[in-house]
C-alpha cells in the first residue's frame, strides 16, 4: 500500500517516456506530415538588391579585417554561398544543406572559418526560409545541419561559450520567426477561404429564393391545370402530372441543398432586398454623415440575384464608410445602368491618408469582391485623389448567366 503511489507515478513516467521516444509519436508525425507552402515566390526584386549589397560588403570586410586567419579563403567561400539566397524559397532544405554543410566542413579544410565574417550572417535568412517555406521533413532535416554547424564552431574554438549560446539563440529566433509568419499567412488564407465560402452561401440563398419562387409557380399552375382538366381528360393530364412531380422534386432538392449550405441555421423567410431598397439606406441611420442615394436608368427588370447583390454591396460599403471614414459629412450612393451592365458607386468625403479597413474583420472587401465575381462582375475600392474613399462595382444585367 505504501509503494502504490511510487509504482503509479513510475508507470505514468514510463508510458510518457515511451510515447515521447516513439518515432511515430502523433506530434512528430504531424510535424513530418506538414506540406510545403504552395506557390512560394521563386524570386523577387529584393533578392537582386540584397545580392548587389552583400557581395561588395563581403569583399570590403575581407579587405578591412586583417584579423581573419585566411581572408581570401573566407571571402571566396562566402561569395560562393551567397547565391543560395536566390533559391531559399523554392529549395529551402537544399540551400541549408549546401550552406551549413560547407561552413561546417570549411574550418577543417581551410585555415579560417567563413562564418567569422560579419556579412556571413546572411545564412540566418536560410534558416528563416527553411521554416517559412519548407515542409516538416525539410525543417527537421535542415535543423540537423544548422545545429551541427553551430556545435562544430564551438568545438574547434571559433566561438566561445557565450557566443555558442548566442548562436543557438539567433538560429532559434530565425526559425521561430519563420514558423510564426508561416502560421499567420496560413491563418489569413483560411480566413479568406471562409469569407469566400460565406459569400457563396449567401449568394446560394438568393439563388434558391429566386428558383424556389419559379418552381413553386410551376407546381401551382400544374395543380390548377389538373383540377381544370377533370372534365376534359386527355394527354394534357399526364403532362401536367409530370410537371407537378418534377417541380415538387426540384423544389425539395433545392431546399435540401440550402439546408446544407446554411449549416444548421434557420431559413430566412423574409423577402430578399432589391435595388429599390437601397433608397432606404438614406433614412436608415439617424446619426453620422448624410447619405444621398441616386438611382438612374431602368432598374425594374434586373434579375433578383443582381438586385440583391447591389443592395448587399451598397449596404456593406455604407456601413464601412460610417465606421471608418474619419470626419465624413456625406456618403453618396449612385446606381446607373445601361444595356449590358449595372454600375454601383459609393463614395464618402472622409479625411485623406487615413488607413481604411474593409470590414469588421478586415475581409469585408474580400466578400464583396467574391459576390461580384460570382455574378460575372467586378468590385474595387480605394482612396480618392483628394479626399475620401470610393467603392465601385460593375455587374452584368443578365446576372449569373452572363
Q: What is the pLDDT of residues 225-277, one digit of tens each?
A: 677 666 666 656 666 777 777 677 666 666 655 655 555 555 454 566 788 88
Compute the distance between CA of residue 212 and CA of residue 260 in angstroms, rounded to an integer: 16
Boundary (domain end) residue, out of 159, 193, 215: 159
C-alpha cell at 64: 578591412
Compute the distance between CA of residue 272 and CA of residue 89 in angstroms, rounded to an integer: 48
Residue 306 located in a structural domain: yes
Residue 154 located in a structural domain: yes
- CA geometry: angle 343, 344, 346, nearest 5 deg: 150
Boundary (domain end) residue, out of 140, 159, 178: 159
Buried-state track 352-371, b at ≥16 Cβ within 10 A, e below 16: eeeebebbeeebbbbbbbbb
**How far from the centroid of its chain's Cα atoms is residue 128's Cα?**
21
**0.85 exceeded by pTM:** no
Residue 214 located in a structural domain: no
pLDDT tier for residue 347 given thresholds of 50, 70 and 90: very high
pLDDT tier for residue 216 given thresholds of 50, 70 and 90: confident
Q: What is the pLDDT of residues 349-388, one digit of tens each?
A: 887 655 555 444 445 677 788 778 878 889 998 888 888 8
Burial class (CB in 10 A: 0-12, 13-18, 19+), 266: exposed
Boundary (domain end) residue, out of 159, 181, 214: 159
Residue 402 located in a structural domain: no
Which residue range is the domain that position 341 belongs to? 275-351+360-396
Residue 14 located in a structural domain: no
- Of residues 325 and 238, the one with the higher pLDDT is 325
Residue 236 located in a structural domain: no
Number of structural domains in the chain? 2
Residue 88 located in a structural domain: yes
Residue 253 located in a structural domain: no
Q: What is the pLDDT of residues 54-105, one digit of tens each?
A: 999 989 988 888 877 777 888 888 889 899 989 988 889 999 999 888 888 8
Alpha helices per DSSP H over 325-374 = 364-374
* Residue 177 predicted with pLDDT over 80: yes
Which CATH number is 297's domain given?
3.30.565.10
Amino acid at each position: 500500500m505504501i509503494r502504490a503511489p511510487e509504482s503509479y507515478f513510475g508507470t505514468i513516467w514510463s508510458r510518457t517516456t515511451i510515447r515521447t521516444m516513439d518515432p511515430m509519436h502523433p506530434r512528430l508525425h504531424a510535424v513530418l506530415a506538414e506540406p510545403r507552402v504552395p506557390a512560394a515566390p521563386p524570386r523577387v526584386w529584393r533578392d537582386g538588391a540584397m545580392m548587389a549589397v552583400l557581395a561588395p560588403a563581403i569583399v570590403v570586410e575581407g579587405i578591412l579585417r586583417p584579423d581573419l586567419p585566411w581572408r581570401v579563403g573566407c571571402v571566396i567561400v562566402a561569395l560562393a554561398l551567397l547565391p543560395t539566397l536566390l533559391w531559399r524559397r523554392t529549395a529551402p532544405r537544399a540551400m541549408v544543406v549546401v550552406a551549413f554543410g560547407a561552413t561546417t566542413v570549411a574550418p577543417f579544410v581551410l585555415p579560417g572559418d567563413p562564418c567569422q565574417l560579419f556579412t556571413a550572417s546572411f545564412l540566418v535568412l536560410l534558416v528563416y526560409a527553411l521554416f517559412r517555406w519548407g515542409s516538416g521533413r525539410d525543417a527537421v532535416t535542415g535543423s540537423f545541419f544548422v545545429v551541427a554547424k553551430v556545435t562544430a564552431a564551438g568545438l574547434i574554438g571559433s566561438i566561445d561559450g557565450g557566443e555558442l549560446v548566442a548562436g543557438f539563440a539567433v538560429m532559434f529566433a530565425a526559425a521561430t520567426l519563420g514558423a510564426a509568419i508561416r502560421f499567420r499567412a496560413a491563418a489569413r488564407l483560411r480566413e479568406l477561404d471562409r469569407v469566400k465560402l460565406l459569400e457563396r452561401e449567401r449568394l446560394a440563398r438568393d439563388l434558391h429564393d429566386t428558383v424556389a419562387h419559379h418552381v413553386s409557380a410551376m407546381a401551382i399552375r400544374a395543380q390548377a391545370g389538373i383540377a381544370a382538366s377533370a372534365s376534359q381528360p386527355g394527354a394534357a393530364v399526364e403532362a401536367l402530372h409530370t410537371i407537378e412531380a418534377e417541380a415538387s422534386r426540384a423544389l425539395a432538392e433545392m431546399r435540401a441543398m440550402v439546408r446544407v449550405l446554411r449549416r444548421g441555421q434557420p431559413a430566412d423567410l423574409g423577402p430578399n432586398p432589391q435595388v429599390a431598397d437601397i433608397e432606404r439606406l438614406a433614412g436608415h441611420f439617424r446619426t453620422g454623415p448624410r447619405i444621398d442615394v441616386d438611382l438612374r436608368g431602368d432598374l425594374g427588370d434586373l434579375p433578383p440575384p443582381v438586385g440583391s447583390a447591389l443592395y448587399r454591396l451598397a449596404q456593406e460599403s455604407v456601413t464601412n464608410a460610417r465606421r471608418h471614414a474619419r470626419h465624413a459629412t456625406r456618403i453618396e450612393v449612385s446606381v446607373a445602368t445601361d444595356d449590358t451592365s449595372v454600375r454601383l458607386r459609393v463614395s464618402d468625403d472622409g479625411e485623406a491618408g487615413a488607413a481604411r479597413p474593409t470590414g469588421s474583420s478586415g475581409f469585408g472587401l474580400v466578400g464583396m469582391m467574391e459576390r461580384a465575381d460570382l455574378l460575372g462582375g467586378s468590385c474595387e475600392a480605394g482612396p480618392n485623389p483628394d479626399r475620401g474613399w470610393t467603392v465601385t462595382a460593375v455587374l452584368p444585367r443578365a446576372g449569373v448567366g452572363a
